[in-house]
Amino acid sequence: MTRAVEFKVGGRRALVTGAASGIGHATALRLCQGGARVALNDLPGARLEAAVAALRAQGHDVIAAPGDLGDAHSARSAARDALATLGGIDYLVNNAGAPLTRTPIPPADLDALDDAFWDRILRINLLSTFWMTRELAPALRAARGAIVNTVSVSAFGGGASSTAYATAKAGLAGLTRELARGLAPDVRVNGIAPGLVDSGWECSFGDIHAAALASVPLGRVGTPADYADVIVYLCAGAAYMTGEVVPVTGGLRL
């Protein structure tokens, strides 16, 4: 699909987490298409290697920044390695996230939400954003850069893969606002709250395309590129926006 709006980000340096697939990979691609040099973070392994190789085959300047963002030491190490290789950073996209369940866990099923599940959910979906931001804050301040966090429409009530996931994303919305206060005026911090996503998400919600036809005014499921467009805008434009979490849902919650 040809995009009507192009972002000129030549010479910019970006780190995108959770970038081996889905929204993260689409965001890395859009940044590359605008001329940015991009570090792709994801779990170490073949999927990340293939994502980096695919972008390089298209002529883009990308590097791998492997690391498990559910672990504080690994997250900080990935951030430091990316920063050292890029030589600075202008944009940080905290996109990494995981539901840790293949089917939604009903809100009434409290027994399914044991301590280990809560701990891993909060680490990946909330704490990783703080760890990455704290590690890269000095470089982002120096560049007068921008941060964009991938939240979720479930942060505003209902429809999540689990109560733990929705709670983590609600926390991420709050963290986005607090980081915006803490890093202003040097760094803008915003987020997007995606609705339905056609991305092979680990947790299956059934026939989301049929659901979109029935409940989304725009009549379709959002593609990773749809969300990437807004993320890159919040990075490269939106000069008078900070502390905002922008719902991107095709009108799902109207």
- Render 99-147 in DSSP notation, one character per residue: ---SSPPPTT-GGG--HHHHHHHHIIIIIHHHHHHHHHHHHHHHHT-EE
Tell me how many degrees the CA angle 208-209-214 measures, rounded to the nearest 5: 95
Which residues, including other chains, have CB under 8 Å from residue 234's CB and lie 6 or more apart?
A: 146, 148, 188, 190, 192, 241, 246
pLDDT tens per residue, range 147-173: 999 999 999 987 789 999 999 999 999
Considering the chain, what is the average pLDDT of its residues? 95
Active site residues per annotation: 165
**Rounded to 10 degrees, what is the CA torsion of 76, 22, 225, 82?**
20
Please report whether residue 2 resides in a domain.
no
Q: Is residue 2 predicted with pLDDT exceeding 60?
A: no
Please report whether residue 253 resides in a domain.
no
pLDDT at 158: 74
Q: Which two tokens stand for residue 53?
A: 């190789």
pLDDT at 5: 76
Please report whether residue 252 resides in a domain.
no
pLDDT at 3: 66
Q: What pTM was computed for the model?
A: 0.96
**What is the separation of C-alpha 54 from the centre of its chain, rounded to a whole number of angstroms?**
20
Please report whether residue 8 resides in a domain.
no
pLDDT at 4: 64
Please report whether residue 254 resides in a domain.
no
Please report whether residue 167 resides in a domain.
yes
Please report whether residue 224 resides in a domain.
yes
Please report whether residue 180 resides in a domain.
yes
Q: Is residue 144 predicted with pLDDT exceeding 80?
A: yes
Its domain, for residue 39, covers 13-247
**What CATH number should be reported for the domain holding residue 114?**
3.40.50.720
Q: Which two tokens stand for residue 147?
A: 């941060």
> How many domains would you assign to the chain?
1
SS3 of residue 240 by DSSP: coil
